[in-house]
Chains A and B, each alone.
Chain A
Amino acid sequence: MNFLDHWALSGAIFLPVIGAVLLGLVPRRSELTLKVGALLASLASLALVIYLIARFDFSHSGRFQFVANKQWIEVIHSRYHIGLDGISLPLLALSALITVLCVIYSWDHFPEPFNPKAFLILILVLATGMNGTFGSLDLILFFVFFELVLLPMYFMIGVWGGPNRQYAAIKFFLFTLFGSALMILSFLALYFKGGQTFDMIALRHTIAAASLPAATASLIFAGLFIGFAIKVPMFPFHTWLPDAHTEAPTVGSVILAAILLKLGTYGFVRIAIPILPKAAHTWAPWIGLLAVIGIIYGALGCLAQRDMKRLIAFSSVAHMGFVMLGIATLTSFGINAAVFGMVAHGLITGMLFFVAGSVQERYGTRELSRLGGMLLQAPRLGWILGFCAMASLGLPGLAGFWGEFPAILSAYQPAAGLSLVTFRVYMAVAAVGTVFAAGYLLWMLQRVDFGVVKSEFEHAHIHDLHVPEYLAWAPLLILIVALGVYPHLLFHITDGAVHAVTTGIHAATGVAAGR
């Protein structure tokens, strides 16, 4: 391995936070320096991620590459162990890309109370937390990055958010922290049961070798489940999400939807399922049940919303339900769909929140009943909203389709040993959910884009797209089309890694069935 192969991943993780520290030294007045600095730091991180993609060995995507494994906290045998496989690589790329786009979008869109310095620093700290979570292969390291995301997001919502921001911020914080407390207890339990190691890869073997009693494994899995499910968020742990999304500033919502929610689903795919496959197998029907409840509940919730952003927030609950349904099948088909769904949801819902933010900025409101006729006043913005709504409802040819459709299909044939009937019922319910999705998205589109301009905005001057918006949105729009037309682009990266996960499940549950 050459020098850059060795350091690129660490660089991609830590460059943003180094940038944040340097920005801290720049005086508040030199706004341009601050913006350029933040852009450079996030671009440098993205450049390293692109380098990693270029150097990634796609024929062995199931293997961890660019691994660094250094001593960190010796007394608890926790190591600085990072690496990428086909599951984490696309998510890391998404995270690095979204960070850059958020900095660009913020260029002259800083929300009240302004203060670009603090805002940009928070974005960069968030980036380190997100990139680090996707790169970690050690449970304690994962936990640290997972928690590192909390504080900046708390401040971002609490300082730059809407009128009800303080309530939303503390709710977000306490929900997530409650999950983390249970998660860390489960991590420690894994440590003691799995031969005193926090290494995710080693734990797969040591936990299997320890042959835990089913009740113990089930309990540990429950701790992990609650920790991750709150982050996803799955019904009934989702109540923090609509508040957080509605109150967060645009960029905060985008990061929250595009990346933070994925930390939860990623945790299932990377930690909970591979390390405790048997417990996952026991729990899978229940996860599937909550997933489909989430799909229907989220969709119905959408139909009841008056606020555009809140509607998109509830649609996230529904979409993450599809992702979790794919994961619950425990098949390589389903998990591939889930990873694709994570990326697609990140791109599409991130885009939708960007648009909602721009609408709010132009009209000063997100109330669906007051908006209308945007196609007349700002046709480009209107068409982009239409495009994203189509992508979100799963129109074939756009990225959303490849997350949703295979996830539903995978429920037809779940992993061996799972009840066919149950999962086929889930499949049917989820399919109904897509109809609802089309319903609420088209309804929103109709209310915002079509019709005549409401009298209060008749003489208002509504700008069409600004330059920062073009720059920030173009990559997302291109990726939505590219992944939609040629999904193999992503599936061929994830497939090997997902296969490695499911082989472990089959091995574990196969042995169980053999007994």
Chain B
Amino acid sequence: MLLAAVHSAIQQQAFHVPNLDYHALAPEIVVSATLVVVLVADLFLAGARKWLLSNVAGWGLLVALIFTVELGARSHHASMVGGAYVVDDFALVFKGLFLAVGYIVLLMSTRYIEEGDYFEGEFYFLLLCSLLGMVVMGSARDLITIFVALETLSIPAYMLAGWRKRDLKSNEAALKYYLLGVLASAVMLYGMSLVFGFTNSTLLTDIGKATQGSITKAPLVTLGIFFITVGFAFKVSAVPFHFWAPDTYEGSPTPVTAFLSVASKTGGFVALLELIYIGFIGRSDVWGPMFWVLAALTMTVGNLIALRQTNIVRLLAYSSIAQAGYILVPFAVAGSNTKSIHSAFTASVTYLLIYAAMNLGAFAIVIAVARKTRSGEIASYGGLYEYAPGLTVLMTIFLFSLAGIPPLAGAWAKIFVFRAVLDSGTPSAVALGVIAAVNAVIALFYYASVARLMWMDPVPDGDRTAIRVPASLQAALGLSVVVVVVIGIYPQFFAHLGDVASLVR
């Protein structure tokens, strides 16, 4: 049946080789080449020399990053395969973000994977595969491309979550993540098929025109948008579709948790940005209220449950759920007028960029501290200042940035969200803004309580030996903290990125 359809399609219309701009595709090509090199080299390297693979992967990512920056600096834009694959400022900003996040995660995982006696070569290979999916997601402007990118970034992540295979929690993490991820994909795909059925196109621009036109009120299109949004709500772990996240985050190896909570979540948001602001922009009556409920629930539930956590990774898991809520706020208020579309878009993008740096930093500290304490309990952070003052200061910076205290980067992320809310100015938007403000105060409570433990409590086991932080982890910490502090003092830089990366004109 399918074969016949394909056959007739080929007969009707000769296959045209798409006109590809290889320069614009350079980051994708470099990442693909690197992952092949890593996979093949893994076969020939002796166990003791497997660490070379992480270097290869790292250099590959850096080269890809350089190409991305170069494309951005020269404003090299391209639109390929009929507009399904687009390289523009939005794509480049997020490709740059994904590659940088990938590089930092690599720095964080190098020693962790090596010392933990896990498979090394495959780990880096899967990490690069997942990154490739994300880099593609940045350029995807078509339902099918989005879906393919999403699966490419998700499937390796399911395996990475279960990397500590002798640990039951890790197995649970992977299984939960896999089952719910597949469920989300199925729901989303069903929604996409409905939308395709009514608009007769998978291209987002065509869908955008169609949903603003005659078929706009078709109930099944509404249903399609609803299903697609729900599917991505799973991916970005928005309440009430969040329950996989804390278990998965706790069970996964910590560098993978950092990767999932930053890169994978951002991947979901990038797809949402593309879908909502290009494809469904005319149907804010459907997604506006949905996002309002999702945002309000996600912030509130995430923060309230975070208050009661005793494990640092679970705390950060719920905190990252709550942070996703803040990122959803601009979506909820985007639909009210043309000006608010623009500021809402900028707010989401800026928040994603800043969130990446501060959350990665916090996870890097968790990895560093666990090297000594071998524990994820928050109580084990007591008196950290006495034996690891440097780590304590950095963790304090990351936590208070997540809480949104100026002059750290996180404060600007929140201010941009509030600006979007007030730009919209409708009563429901303002109500959401008030919910967000109240949540910011609740969140401070648990962030500050970790800080309080580190600075003010005694060391629980009295062991004051200093923590040795490997150079790669130091580099990861250094990169994150520089971003958090520099953006805190001079936010114009990221605000500029958020502004140029706009899909809405």
- Name which of A73, A118, A169 has the most chain B CB atoms within 10 A of its CB: A73
B9 at the interface (CB under 8 A from A): no
**Would you give the 0/1 interface string for B480-491, flagging 1 where the beta carbon is closer than 8 Å to chain A?**
000000000011
Nearest opposing residue in chain A for B421, CB measure: A188
Q: Which of B434, B441, B455 contacts A174 (CB 8 A)?
A: B441
Asked whether B456 lies within 8 Å of A151 as measured between CB atoms, the reply is no
Residues on B with beta carbons closer than 8 Å to the beta carbon of A76: 415-416, 419, 495
The verdict on A177 contacting B441 (CB below 8 Å), with A73-B492, A158-B452, A159-B456 known, is yes
Bound-complex Cα distance A142 to B490 (A): 15
Enumerate A126-157 residues with CB–CB distance to B below 8 Å: 140, 143-144, 147-148, 150-151, 154-155
Bound-complex Cα distance A189 to B422 (A): 7
A383 at the interface (CB under 8 A from B): no
The verdict on A188 contacting B418 (CB below 8 Å), with A169-B452, A181-B437 known, is yes
Asked whether A154 lies within 8 Å of B423 as measured between CB atoms, the reply is no
Q: Which of A74, A118, A159, A178 contacts B492 (CB 8 A)?
A: A74
* 18 A–B contacts from the bound complex (CB under 8 Å): A72-B490, A74-B492, A76-B495, A143-B406, A144-B411, A147-B411, A155-B455, A158-B452, A170-B452, A178-B441, A184-B415, A184-B418, A185-B418, A185-B433, A185-B434, A185-B437, A191-B419, A192-B425
Nearest Cβ on chain A to B275's Cβ, whole angstroms: 25
The verdict on A154 contacting B448 (CB below 8 Å), with A147-B406, A148-B407, A159-B455 known, is yes
B84 at the interface (CB under 8 A from A): no
Bound-complex Cα distance A155 to B491 (A): 26
The verdict on A150 contacting B418 (CB below 8 Å), with A75-B499, A181-B437 known, is no
Bound-complex Cα distance A169 to B433 (A): 27
The verdict on A73 contacting B491 (CB below 8 Å), with A181-B440, A185-B418 known, is yes
Nearest opposing residue in chain B for A24, CB measure: B393
A245 at the interface (CB under 8 A from B): no
Bound-complex Cα distance A292 to B145 (A): 68
**Would you give the 0/1 interface string for A299-338, flagging 1 where the beta carbon is closer than 8 Å to chain B?**
0000000000000000000000000000000000000000
User: Which 7 A-B residue pairs are closest in the complex by CB-CB distance?
Assistant: A75-B495, A144-B406, A147-B406, A181-B437, A144-B407, A73-B492, A158-B456
Bound-complex Cα distance A71 to B400 (A): 26
Residues on A with beta carbons closer than 8 Å to the beta carbon of B491: 73
A58 at the interface (CB under 8 A from B): no
Asked whether A192 lies within 8 Å of B423 as measured between CB atoms, the reply is yes
The verdict on A188 contacting B437 (CB below 8 Å), with A158-B455, A173-B444 known, is no
* Contacts A75-B496, A166-B452, A185-B433 known; 13 new A-B pairs at CB < 8 A: A72-B490, A75-B346, A76-B415, A144-B407, A150-B405, A159-B455, A166-B456, A169-B456, A173-B444, A177-B444, A184-B415, A191-B419, A192-B425
Residues on B with beta carbons closer than 8 Å to the beta carbon of A170: 445, 448-449, 452
Asked whether B448 lies within 8 Å of A73 as measured between CB atoms, the reply is no
Bound-complex Cα distance A181 to B444 (A): 12
Asked whether B407 lies within 8 Å of A188 as measured between CB atoms, the reply is no
Residues on B with beta carbons closer than 8 Å to the beta carbon of A270: none
A-B pair number, CB within 8 angstroms = 84
**Would you give the 0/1 interface string for B346-374, flagging 1 where the beta carbon is closer than 8 Å to chain A?**
10000000000000000000000000000
Q: Which of A74, A150, A158, A192 contacts B495 (CB 8 A)?
A: A74
Q: Is the interface of A mostly helix, strand, loop or mixed?
A: helix
Nearest opposing residue in chain A for B442, CB measure: A174
Residues on A with beta carbons closer than 8 Å to the beta carbon of B490: 72-73
Nearest Cβ on chain A to B334's Cβ, whole angstroms: 17
Asked whether B405 lies within 8 Å of A151 as measured between CB atoms, the reply is yes
Nearest opposing residue in chain A for B493, CB measure: A73
Bound-complex Cα distance A112 to B62 (A): 48
Residues on B with beta carbons closer than 8 Å to the beta carbon of A73: 412, 490-492, 495
Nearest Cβ on chain A to B411's Cβ, whole angstroms: 7
Bound-complex Cα distance A159 to B346 (A): 39
Bound-complex Cα distance A506 to B68 (A): 58
Nearest Cβ on chain B to A23's Cβ, whole angstroms: 13
A204 at the interface (CB under 8 A from B): no
Residues on B with beta carbons closer than 8 Å to the beta carbon of A188: 415, 418-419, 422
Enumerate A449-506 residues with CB–CB distance to B below 8 Å: none
Enumerate B395-446 residues with CB–CB distance to A below 8 Å: 396, 400, 405-407, 411-412, 415-416, 418-419, 422-423, 425, 433-434, 437-438, 440-441, 444-445
Nearest opposing residue in chain A for B430, CB measure: A185
Nearest Cβ on chain B to A471's Cβ, whole angstroms: 30
Enumerate B79-101 residues with CB–CB distance to A below 8 Å: none
Residues on B with beta carbons closer than 8 Å to the beta carbon of A181: 437-438, 440-441
A447 at the interface (CB under 8 A from B): no
Asked whether B415 lies within 8 Å of A147 as measured between CB atoms, the reply is no
Residues on A with beta carbons closer than 8 Å to the beta carbon of B405: 147, 150-151, 177
A165 at the interface (CB under 8 A from B): yes
Residues on B with beta carbons closer than 8 Å to the beta carbon of A165: 456
Nearest Cβ on chain B to A170's Cβ, whole angstroms: 6
Bound-complex Cα distance A249 to B415 (A): 33
Residues on A with beta carbons closer than 8 Å to the beta carbon of B499: 75
Bound-complex Cα distance A147 to B404 (A): 10
Nearest Cβ on chain B to A259's Cβ, whole angstroms: 19
Nearest opposing residue in chain A for B498, CB measure: A75
- Name which of A75, A165, A166 has the most chain B CB atoms within 10 A of its CB: A75
Asked whether A72 lies within 8 Å of B422 as measured between CB atoms, the reply is no
Residues on A with beta carbons closer than 8 Å to the beta carbon of B400: 151
Bound-complex Cα distance A159 to B418 (A): 33
Residues on A with beta carbons closer than 8 Å to the beta carbon of B444: 173-174, 177
Bound-complex Cα distance A489 to B58 (A): 65
Bound-complex Cα distance A41 to B423 (A): 43
Residues on A with beta carbons closer than 8 Å to the beta carbon of B441: 174, 177-178, 181
**Would you give the 0/1 interface string for A50-88, flagging 1 where the beta carbon is closer than 8 Å to chain B?**
000000000000000000000111111000000000000
Nearest Cβ on chain B to A70's Cβ, whole angstroms: 11
Nearest Cβ on chain B to A213's Cβ, whole angstroms: 14
Bound-complex Cα distance A188 to B425 (A): 11
Bound-complex Cα distance A170 to B444 (A): 10
Nearest opposing residue in chain B for A178, CB measure: B441
Bound-complex Cα distance A155 to B456 (A): 8
Bound-complex Cα distance A302 to B499 (A): 55
Residues on A with beta carbons closer than 8 Å to the beta carbon of B423: 192
Residues on A with beta carbons closer than 8 Å to the beta carbon of B418: 184-185, 188
